[in-house]
């Protein structure tokens, strides 16, 4: 469990950046449709 947690937390900032990019793309799609 501890090893899994460490491996999961290490690239967490990278996943956060991906999530932010996804949110931005979703917002663009919504704006383009509206």
Interval 4-15: pLDDT, tens:
555 555 667 777
- Residue 25 belongs to what domain range? 1-33
pLDDT of amino acid 13: 74
pLDDT of amino acid 31: 78
Residue 2 scores a pLDDT above 70? no
Number of domains within the chain? 1
State the average pLDDT over residues 3-32.
Answer: 73
Q: Kindly report the pTM of this predicted structure.
A: 0.40
Residue 3 scores a pLDDT above 60? no
Residue 25 scores a pLDDT above 80? yes
Nearest to 29 by CA among 21, 7, 17, 1: 21
């Amino acid at each position: 469990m501890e090893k899994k947690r460490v491996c999961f937390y290490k690239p967490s900032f990278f996943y956060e950046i991906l999530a932010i990019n996804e949110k931005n793309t979703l917002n663009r799609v919504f704006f383009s449709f509206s």
